[in-house]
Structure 1
């Protein structure tokens, strides 16, 4: 049984339980949070089109659509169906695909989505290389939980703008969870007022991550520190993330309020709780290494 938790431990609990299942033991990717759900609006022209916990976002512009994240390989048909439910044609209207990070639950469906839409795929350098290898060679997972490889069409730098029509999104590199984890910020309209939205990549320290002495990623702790500095300074009025559990997505959607996803206080509280958890894990690992 998985206890429903939020913050830095939520996804860690979910993945830890999933990786203990028989399929994971055989090297097959577990698929927690992949139940189909109907799309819902989070801001004007911005929708959740992902699964029950694994996120995907659709952003409308006057020049076409931007899709963020691809879920698992098996999530791709759900995402395409949700786009159609909103009245759009994925093949004719999705122009750009972006990614939060290149783990199997966010990049597994990118190859299929890219093929189905003909869209250009943009990614950070580090995670772009990882998705081009189909998730193999990950600093922590190694070659486990691979997925269909997909090569990005464009490599993004920290702070780079992605523009389509009147929409402008900013790529903010926030490594730690992966080497190229990318948090997205962009202006949206909520109840007639312009607000600043954030789609958090992930701040999760997965069970087994070594924040000290990690030979395959020696700078992981320093990267998490830098990422928390970015998250604290970045605009975050409409708080969104790569997992529904991080920001109580379905609870907010059910409220029916047009400003349900306006949550600047929740955003800041999430990062403060997450940072405290990160520092606690780091302290324990440093103490253990000193013994």
Structure 2
């Protein structure tokens, strides 16, 4: 695997926002940035009818990433930027491209009025068919405005909002947790671990006569979350950890926390099945409705 940050670029505002986010991430990691423009060649009969030669198609396929690369180089002079146009269908090419990169970044359209993502026909298949972490960045606001805020102190330097980790304490995965802690450490910000739980049916029926049962279960769930995070606190002593264990829908709790996040980290279990890949209901909901960039980390 090549140590690069790769952006899937199509010239849209969404992919340009993704490129800007990826440039900042590349700077944080000290890695080069690779702009991959996947373009679908025009069928020959159509190309002939509009006098669009293969040479002209190549020109336009190189112009879009070239313009984006020039802007990134001027805004982030310390980041090495390379450009790579590739013919083909994005949903076919990008999973292959992802195999040769450390992180793949894609753009997603903001849903007007809902503040979330329109992941679309490219993002979902790419996420579902690659083992490489994928970050989706929405358009609308500038990338910096989505994940930075001005420090409340006397310094004018920008401070990062917390990294939010959606954590399943029943099946915690080291790959997902490590990714979230690393991102928080790079940004010098807090990590907010969000865990949600629901009352079993027999607890709900017993609550009217024994309301303390809910409180006891809540304390048990909070203790489990603390136990899962304890070794990670020791491994990353400079990262402030905020633990949030509340009853309710896991997706709703993570989406709520995303409003004040620089990045949301969720997992996707790798399912090697001939019937295709699944993303999972919580991750699927977070992808569509979180307002911050979302990193999907595949794990076994």
- Which interval holds the TM-score relative to the shorter structure? under 0.3
TM-score by structure 1 length? 0.28
Indicate the structure (1 or 2) with the bigger Cα radius of gyration: 2
Structure number having the greater helix percentage:
2
Taking structure 2 as the reference length, the TM-score comes to 0.27
